[in-house]
Structure 1
Amino acid sequence: MEQRRSILTCPIWGHRAVETMPVDACVCRYECRSCGTTLTPKKGDCCVFCSYGSVPCPPVQVSRTARLSRWLEDGRVVVWWEIDDLPHAKVCGLDDRTDRLR
């Protein structure tokens, strides 16, 4: 079972905040509550939780368990997993309107 809470640590001043991660989207922008810096994912990560969190996002937690994910050339990531022996897949791509991967 994946974890839903992660501690985000700002790389500028080290401020830490406990946040709840969405299970259906990846968060691509997060504003530090202390210094106001906008955090974005590091290259190769799908979201700020994977880059700056104590726990990666739920889709990555699942894909790491299953070891089934890959990056596409256009920057989207494909994640596969199984629930009750049924295969599931999700393609995450940046949605400019929500600043989340969908």
Structure 2
Amino acid sequence: MKAQSTLTCPVCRHQATETMPIDACQFFYDCAECGTRLKPKPGDCCVFCSYGSVPCPPVQENRQGCCG
């Protein structure tokens, strides 16, 4: 299981590699470059599943579209 994911801001395209929570989903993330608050896209459980290079650990573990 991968613990890091690179988030890409959809507004300014800034990228930041972050360590993901192991046992939870992260619903919000503030872009360090432009300040945009990222929220999951409809159907995704967290910002890593929507904007990251790797889905969150609960999704990696469960291989499902959403963590519970």
* Smaller-chain TM-score bracket: over 0.9
Q: Which runs of 4+ in 1 moved over 6 A?
A: none
TM-score normalised over the length of structure 1: 0.63
Match of 1:57 in 2: 56
**Which consecutive residues of structure 2, in runs of 5 or more, have no partner in the other structure?**
none
Q: Distance in 2 between matches of 1:63 and 1:11?
A: 27
Q: Which structure has the larger Rg?
A: 1
Which has the larger strand fraction? 1
The residue type equivalent to 1:17 in the other structure is A
Match of 1:12 in 2: 11
Match of 1:87 in 2: none
How many residues are treated as equivalent by the alignment?
Answer: 68
TM-score normalised over the length of structure 2: 0.93
Which gives a bigger RCO, structure 1 or 2 (Cα 8 Å, sep 6+)? 2
1:63 CA displacement: 1.5
| Residue-by-residue CA offset, 1:2-56 (whole Å, 9 max, x unaligned) | 1000000000010000000011110000000000000000000000000000000
Percent of pairs with identical residues = 60
